[in-house]
Structure 1
Amino acid sequence: MSSVPTEATGSRSTAETARVRHGDGGPSPSLAVVEAIADLAGVEATELHEAGVVLYEHVDPDALNALVADRSDVDVSLTVAGYDVRVGPESAVARRSRD
């Protein structure tokens, strides 16, 4: 799995939520999104595209980073390939979409 620490809710095989902290020497906000989704999908972040998830097909990673990084007043929500994602000032949280 990912080398970035995540916090999962539920057992490893049935986790419904994954949280990856970003900034402060950690990954960028967009990479935190990728890491969180990869954790839920059960794949390495570098293999996420093989699972059919390509972040830049849903959002511009550079724009997301610029919008969220070093900001305490921004909270972005989006849906990425069946995952509901919230990117806040400190972390990215991914949940399996209930739709």
Structure 2
Amino acid sequence: MSSATSESIDSGSVPETARVPHGGDGLAPSLAVVEAIAELAGVEPAELSAEGIVLYDHVDPDALNALVSGRSDADVSLTVAGYDIRVGPDSAVARRSGN
């Protein structure tokens, strides 16, 4: 089950953003990115590749984890398959590009 939280304009609309916490004993930052994108795409994280979205095609997950893990000043922004992603010290936030 996903730990993503979503925000939408009204209760019946598609979520505009998804926030997934990471760090500590929880998810790695790269996995939080995958979960956030999956939340907005409306699929399970394992199904993203069937949607043509593969994180590794856009960023090295190990490098992303190394940049962010354990850093209180982490702030990484990237675009993955039409989603703007911001990875901070404790969460990954995804938003559809152009919003």
The answer for the alignment partner of 1:96 in structure 2 is: 96
The answer for the alignment partner of 1:19 in structure 2 is: 19
The answer for the alignment partner of 1:8 in structure 2 is: 6
The answer for the alignment partner of 1:37 in structure 2 is: 37
Calculate the TM-score normalised by the size of structure 2. 0.93
CA–CA separation in structure 2 for the residues paired with 1:19 and 1:12:
19
Name the % identity. Answer: 68
CA–CA separation in structure 2 for the residues paired with 1:13 and 1:65:
32
- Post-superposition Cα deviations, 1:47-83, rounded to whole Å, max 9, x if no partner, equal 0011111000000000000010010112000000000
CA–CA separation in structure 2 for the residues paired with 1:24 and 1:12:
34
Query: Structure 1 residues 12, 53: CA separation in 2 closer, same or farther (over 3 Å shift)?
Result: farther
**C-alpha displacement at 1:12, in angstroms?**
6.8
CA–CA separation in structure 1 for the residues paired with 2:96 and 2:34:
14
Calculate the TM-score normalised by the size of structure 1. 0.93
**C-alpha displacement at 1:7, in angstroms?**
1.1
- Give aligned pairs, total: 97
CA–CA separation in structure 1 for the residues paired with 2:16 and 2:72:
26
CA–CA separation in structure 2 for the residues paired with 1:58 and 1:30:
11
Moved over 6 A (4+): none
The answer for the alignment partner of 1:67 in structure 2 is: 67
- Post-superposition Cα deviations, 1:13-67, rounded to whole Å, max 9, x if no partner, equal 5001000000121110000000000000000000001111100000000000001
The answer for unaligned runs of 5 or more in structure 2 is none
